Amino acid sequence: MANHSIAHNVYVPYLEKKGILSWLLSTDHKRIGIMYLVSISFFFLVAGVIALLMRLELLTPAADFVQPHTYNVLFTLHGSLMVFFFVVPGLAASFGNFLIPLMIGAPDVAFPKLNLGSYWIYLLGTLIVLLALMKPADTGWTYYTPYSATTDTDVVLITLGVFVLGFSSILTGLNFIVTIHKMRAPGMTWHRLPLFIWASYATAVLQLLATPVVGITLLLLIAERTLGVGFFDPAKGGDPILFQNFFWFYSHPAVYIMIIPAMGVISEIIPVFARKPIFGYKAIAYSSLGIAFISFLVWAHHMFTSGISSLAATIFSFLTFLVAIPTAIKVFNWTATLYKGSIHLHSSMLYALGFIFLFTIGGLTGLFLGALAADIHLHDTYFVVAHMHYVMIGGTVMGFFGALHFWYPKWFGKMFNEMVAKIAWFLVFVGFNVTFFPQFFLGVQGMPRRYATYPAEFESLMSLSTYGSWILGLGVLIMTVNLIAGLFNGEKAPQNPYNSLSLEWQVPSPPPHENFDEIPHVTDWTYGYGKKKEPEA
């Protein structure tokens, strides 16, 4: 009796109701997750197109496609949209919303109305930023003072938009923490939680602790521009380095808001397609919290060249290396899970393997930048650009695509074309490497970031990078078309296409309104593939 799917007397899929209002007013966490998915995907594609435009400008050394000012606007928009509108809310809000209640055996999140409110706040933030497009900012996504306080572009609107998004992020994180604490099904102990839940939990803690600080930082910047407050203005006795301290105190932990959910996704995908229990469950779970903790101690490694004391720089350099420990724990445990597994190369598994490969490169090059002496040379060069894209695209975006392909049948009750998905993965993987690997060499040779023009000697590497961006763009295009086509033409998805053990696969695809006809009693951990029992506590 114990191991059959949950029976439903009246099964109404959550996608049943039609009409735009049935979405915008829905408190169903699954629908809110989809609304986030649609919104963030939109911004991902827009910011991606902007990136293609920037690469097009960089095809030749001269500024022949756009002028430098336009280029400044483009990289500001690209960074702001990607960071604040896509990767920060990205996996946490879309997949977190959809999966957390399903995975812990709850009918919904703890505060469904607040959840809907968070989405509306997200929409409000996006509207404000749309207004900011009339005179778009040219400061870069970090909005560094004193330039951001003096430029005549519309910094106030875009930072206000980001401030509002921060609220959305805080409320979502709060909701998830309370949900995970209070709504777990009977028997779902902390040490039986799926690792995606652990990752979401660590992310939510970061969202709660870090976001208010960037909130006040942006408010102060707005006050600086509107009221003439001088906290960051040396002419008024203020200190521009203070802005950088405040900004990175948030934004460095935010880097982990972006990556930890993706790590959670990888921890779900790998055991399913290796058909093995995850290796080192607790180490992976607690390393998420470890990363979250250490992430607060390292912010000043962004400021080695900003004029902080050499003692402080040395200490922050050392602390930065500490982050490598919990991160490496995860990578080793994923690899150990794969060892002697019976590996099935489903498209989501390909993205997971891509994640491990690319994220490892991103992580190791992070050590170069964390090392004080090397950073002095590499700071603000293309090396940094390559590093952060290896972490953000190679990590977060690979995790996002993996999650998209993995849970697609559950979300929509349809299947996509697996062959096309694999071709798209190949193009994304190759295109990504061709785009960003040359940038490591550009950086080492001294090419600074954020310039529309460059010396002729860099042309071969620069244009190689641009060709790569076309392959990458083509891959994302094919993937998008394939996933959208699956919605209309895809076969009906079975309840549990990968024979996965976690709770969300034990309900029909797509899931019913209240998730579970009856709240399940959990009697075993999630990763017992090929084994009957959970490991000793």
Partner 1 sequence: MERPSVEHSHVHHMDPAVEYSSSKFGMWLFLGTEILLFGGLFAAYAIFRAKYPEMFFEQHKELNREMGAVNTCILIFSSLTMAMGVTAIKRGKQKLTAILLLVTIICGLGFGVVKYFEYGAKFAHHIYPDTSIFFSLYFMMTGLHMLHVFIGLVILAVMLVLTLKGKFTSKYNTPIEVGGLYWHLVDLIWIYLFPLLYLIG
d(CA 320, CA 338): 29
Q: CB under 8 Å to 125, separation ≥6 — which residues?
A: 161, 162, 163, 164, 165, 167, 168
Is residue 237 involved in binding partner 1 (CB under 8 A)? yes
Judged by beta carbon, residue 19 or residue 237, the one nearer partner 1 is 237
From candidates 74, 83, 165, 220, binder to partner 1 by CB under 8 A: 220
The span of 95-103, 448-456, 462-470, 522-530 binding partner 1 (CB under 8 A) equals: 522-530
Tokens (6 digits) for 372: 């004080």
CB of 182 to partner 1, least distance (A): 5
Judged by beta carbon, residue 126 or residue 496, the one nearer partner 1 is 496
Residue type for 453, please? T
The span of 103-111, 142-150, 289-297, 356-364 binding partner 1 (CB under 8 A) equals: 103-111
The span of 81-89, 218-226, 286-294, 389-397 binding partner 1 (CB under 8 A) equals: 218-226
Instruction: Please check whether residue 154 is in contact with residue 136, taking contact to mean a CB–CB distance below 8 angstroms.
Output: yes
Is residue 343 involved in binding partner 1 (CB under 8 A)? no
Could you tell me which residues are beta bridge partners of residue 513? none
Is residue 124 involved in binding partner 1 (CB under 8 A)? no
Residue type for 142, please? T
CB of 87 to partner 1, least distance (A): 21
Is residue 223 involved in binding partner 1 (CB under 8 A)? yes
From candidates 83, 353, 462, 501, binder to partner 1 by CB under 8 A: 501
Cα 532 to Cα 105, 418, 525, 529, 535: the distances in Å are: 21, 31, 10, 8, 10
Judged by beta carbon, residue 59 or residue 174, the one nearer partner 1 is 174
Residue type for 87, please? V
Is residue 344 involved in binding partner 1 (CB under 8 A)? no
Cα 336 to Cα 137, 329, 339, 355: the distances in Å are: 46, 10, 5, 15
SS3 letters across 195-227: HHHHHHHHHHHHHHHHHHHHHHHHHHHHHHHHC
From candidates 98, 201, 246, 383, binder to partner 1 by CB under 8 A: 246
Q: In the chain, what is the straight-line distance between the N-terminal and C-terminal CA atoms, in Å?
A: 27
CB of 213 to partner 1, least distance (A): 5
Judged by beta carbon, residue 459 or residue 514, the one nearer partner 1 is 514
Is residue 520 involved in binding partner 1 (CB under 8 A)? yes
Is residue 498 involved in binding partner 1 (CB under 8 A)? no
Tokens (6 digits) for 477: 């295009």
CB of 506 to partner 1, least distance (A): 6
CB of 206 to partner 1, least distance (A): 12
290-308 b/e (C-beta count within 10 Å ≥ 16 → b)? bbbbbbbbbbbbbbbeeee
From candidates 67, 150, 335, 499, binder to partner 1 by CB under 8 A: 499
d(CA 326, CA 292): 10
Judged by beta carbon, residue 146 or residue 528, the one nearer partner 1 is 528
DSSP label at residue 2: T
Tokens 């970061």 identify what position? Answer: 206
Judged by beta carbon, residue 459 or residue 524, the one nearer partner 1 is 524
Is residue 529 involved in binding partner 1 (CB under 8 A)? yes
Q: CB under 8 Å to 20, separation ≥6 — which residues?
A: none
What character string, x for contact with partner 1 (CB under 8 A) and - otherwise, covers 174-213? xx-xx--xxx--x---------------------xx-xxx
Is residue 406 involved in binding partner 1 (CB under 8 A)? no
Closest CA relative to residue 281, chosen from 500, 532, 525: 525
d(CA 522, CA 207): 29
Tokens (6 digits) for 227: 């009221």
Chain residues binding partner 1 by CB under 8 A are 2-4, 6, 107, 110-111, 114, 170, 174-175, 177-178, 181-183, 186, 208-209, 211-213, 215-217, 219-220, 223, 227-231, 236-239, 242, 246, 499, 501-503, 506, 514, 518-526, 528-530
